[in-house]
Amino acid sequence: MRILVTGAGGQIGLALVPALQAQGHEVLATDIQPLAFSGPTQCLDVTNVPAVRALLESWRPDAVYHLAAFLSARSEKEPRAGWRLNFEAFWELLEACVTYGVKQVFWASSIAAFGPHTPRHHTPQYAPMDPIGLYGIAKLTAERLSEYFFLHYSLDVRSLRFPGVVGPGHLPQGGTTDFAVHMFYAAKKEKRYCCYLLPHTRLPMIYLSDAIRAILELMEAPAERLTVRSAYNIQGLSFSPAELVAHIQRRVPDFVCTYEPDFRQRLAESWPESLDDSYARREWGWQPHYDLPALVESMWQALEPLS
């Protein structure tokens, strides 16, 4: 397949592009900043509608993986720009995909689409959703639009509600769950970290390789098996900063974590702690591989060259 990836320079894109290439696809990786992949790359601002349409018209991808976004913290700081990127550009992209005959679209939704009235534990696929953050508001609206494009234009659009993604190789920026990756790097280099969330704040997380596998498996699933065209819940594991600290201290006993919560605490407290992913399990066989000890072990091995 010919595949276009947007936001390919982000945490998920950097791992997804090589995974798609390894499957034999011809991948054009795009991002607002220059990229270094072995394969074709191009600078693309997805809010530039004529540029997006021109690229789809000239490159004619079979599938688009749309990852360009401002995450939750950045969306609070740059609300209008966040809305333009997270929602308006998405709408324009879906329209362009219909126009230029794209067969499949993947985009990333988020646990941020849930809110304070959502059950926090084992959150059902179909739960009350009242996001308090602008990122979540955009993602929930995008979920409705995603289903709309499936129903009205038969666009084969698929999505996952990503929990915090934890993996080596990239320091995520602009999110609320970034602390998990940052804590590993800080523990390795400085043996101390100041966390912007309180120690007990438990959130759903997923190891990067599980996240990539989830995308690939969802996109390979037969269309007729999928009943969710908004975005699927997926559960990997759940942990709090304090739980992660305890695991890291088994490797670095003098690692010290201090806590200075900021505006992200309120966002995190409005999100689920764990998700019921039974739709994903039933309809396309989702199964996470990494629990917390396995995640810590794998991260630690990947960070070994830093010491």
Rule CB under 6 A: which of 230-269 touch ligand SER? none
Name beta bridge partners: 34: none
Residue placing its CB nearer to ligand SER in the complex, 66 or 96 = 66
- What DSSP string runs through 59-89? H--SEEEE-----HHHHHHSHHHHHIIIIIH
User: Is position 11 an interface residue for ligand SER (rule: CB under 6 A)?
Assistant: no
Nearer to ligand SER, 5 or 234 (CB): 234
> Mask: binding to ligand SER, 126-165, rule CB under 6 A, as x and -?
---------x--------------------------x-x-
156 and 103 Cβ atoms separated by less than 8 Å: yes
**Residue 274 interacts with ligand SER (CB under 6 A): yes or no:** no
CB 28 within 8 A of CB 4: yes
State how far the alpha carbon of 45 is from the alpha carbons of 2, 79, 191, 244, in Å: 20, 17, 38, 36
Q: Is 118 in the site for ligand SER (CB under 6 A)?
A: no
Least CB distance to ligand SER at residue 109 (A)? 8
Structure-token pair, residue 269: 């407290």
Query: Which tokens go with 185?
Result: 């790097």
Closest CA to 234 of 259, 201, 212, 267: 212
- Residue with Cβ nearer ligand SER (27 or 214): 214
Tokens 């995308």 found at: 215
Selecting among 135, 193, 207, 279, the annotated active-site residue is: 135
Q: Which of residues 173-192 bind ligand SER (CB under 6 A)?
A: 175-177
Q: Is 208 in the site for ligand SER (CB under 6 A)?
A: no
Binding site for ligand SER (CB under 6 A): 71-72, 110-112, 135, 162, 164, 175-177
Catalytic residue set: 135
